[in-house]
Amino acid sequence: MMLRNLNRKSFADLIVLFIFLFSTNRLLAQQEIPENIKDQILKGTEALESAKVPQDIENAYNLFNQAAEIAPLYPDVHYFLGKTLSLMQGNTERAIQEMKIYLELYPDAPDREQVNIEIKELESSAIFKKNSYLMGISLVELSDGIYVHRVSPNYPPFGRRGVPIKTGDKIVKINGIDVSEYSLQEIMSVFEADSLEIEKPRKIVVIRGGQEYSLDMYKRKKDFDPVIKDLGEEDLAVIIVNTKKPLVVFFISDWCNECQNYFNDRSIDRPTYKYNKDIEFIYANIDERSSLTKEYGIEKSPTLHFYKNGKLVDKIIGYDNDLFMEKADNLIN
């Protein structure tokens, strides 16, 4: 018997069930939990069960990720990791990959059909996220709703209202739509539709400290240099490995003037235009994909990583257009 369908309605019951199975040494995925990851699995499920703030989900992710690194052939840990990733904005493709690994390692899984349904739902949500852009805000799903995971430190105030949204705010309404029972995938679909209408401000209602607040939230269409691909919900590690051309990744954050300097040059001689036939360009928003900072060692934005044959060969920290041109030349020669 296995822990499945980790959503708000069955969240606590399933965690209790898993802890019972764990404590009685029952089998998961037709094998016992490896001794060297029992501690991570138990602490990960406890972190999910008691999750009250966004950081708790991140802690669970870190524990399941450690377990997957230690015991990569244990099927269930990949499912736990995939489900946890699906609760964190920007990780849809990674969640899909982990669930597929689970099925590859456990081809006779009794819940194979249900897991395939979950994978298809995640794939559909990733496909439609083309314009949703939260401009410095990332979200996470807890057992009772959707919360703000992080807010860019450079997020500007809205007139006299101050910073309109804070880490830990629970979002309950968007433009009058009650989203208190929405999943992360569903709420991102609302943001996606709203991003198409940039003339009107986005109105949200949040719960903070037990009180409701009506706030404004910045929005705009994704409008960076058209030759640069937006990472969105895709798995950057997969892109790095599979890209046949040399690759440059811009790790950027919102409201970052140095970041914008790389994209403000609209002349025909701008670097991304000059090299776009020989180099693939992609930008990764570390405000909306906060896990990237740890995974790729990003301490400041902008940071540029230069890849060749799937290997990191050079980097730039900060804005230096001349150095960018020089390193781009080196990348293709």
Catalytic residues: 256, 259
Cis peptide before 302 (omega within 30 of 0): yes
CA distance 174 to 205: 7
Q: Transcribe 18-57 into DSSP letters.
A: HHHHHHTT--BTTBPPPGGGHHHHHHHHHHHHT--SHHHH
Assess contact for 28 and 111: CB atoms under 8 A.
no
Round the CA-based radius of gyration of the chain to a whole number and report it. 21
CA distance 328 to 333: 9
CA distance 151 to 147: 11
CA distance 141 to 202: 20
Assess contact for 158 and 191: CB atoms under 8 A.
no
